[in-house]
Structure 1
Amino acid sequence: MKVTTGCWLTRFLDPLGESQRKLNRCLEATREFMRLNGLKVSRWTCHSVPHAVQQDGMSCGVFALKFAECILEGKDLKFPSNTAAVNAMRVVIASTCLCESESLENLCSHCGGEDTDDLLWIACDSCKRLYHPGCVKNPPTGTKYCCVLCL
């Protein structure tokens, strides 16, 4: 939201596209929230700006992150939104999350716990993820192990 010449403005972005009904609903929800917080909102408005529209029903998270990135970096909200472009954005998001996360190498891939007392871990022969033996029902040692994710 921002102030423009004494009027408060809410920008509403819906990756599936806006309708007047959705804009009115956003305006009323915003006004109600502000009233509950003691602010007078008679001059509050709600508008949208041109932006990319998702082409499926599964990409809203990708679009929310991309909209936030574009707004924070002052970029145009119209970007390629075909399947290949959305998949490329997913790869960038996943890579960023992995690069920015802490080391996960000492964590069990099943329970997420770290066990420094137990030196015996089971590694999947396919993906190399590590598991506490008890978390994967104590498979026999000395045999090949394939985790449920790789089966």
Structure 2
Amino acid sequence: MLLNTFVVRFHVIFSSSFLLIALGITIWSLYGWLKKKEYTRGSHIFGLIFLGFLYADLLMGVVLYFFLRKPDEILTAAQAIKYSSLRFWAVQHFSFMVFVVVLSQIGKIFISRTSESDRKFKYAFFYYGAATLITIISVAIFLLRKQ
């Protein structure tokens, strides 16, 4: 499964890039909110890049999990519950990431519907920051379980 290996590696690299972008937009939003900066076109584009990476990452995860698995890797729900690593990828990680996408999209809607820069940065910090925190927690849960 050369394609599977490539997509897994690309997904890891892409996810790492997303995490850097997520940390960047969270810090940028906090800075803009606290310093009363103007929410510019650049800030808007930064948010779109964040969402674009997030959606692409979710799509890659779905393709990996549902379409690029070997038949012998497919387990029943009862089998997945027995193995914490499988349960993490099958249920918890996927649920976290879907929630992060929904939360970020709600944030984008709030940001788009307000005209005040202060509120735009506040919404961006809250929604994108919460999404970033959930993503970090999701990865940390997996890494801590491996030890």
TM-score class, shorter = under 0.3
| TM-score normalised over the length of structure 1 | 0.22
Larger helix fraction of residues? 2
Radius of gyration: which is bigger?
1
Larger strand fraction of residues? 1
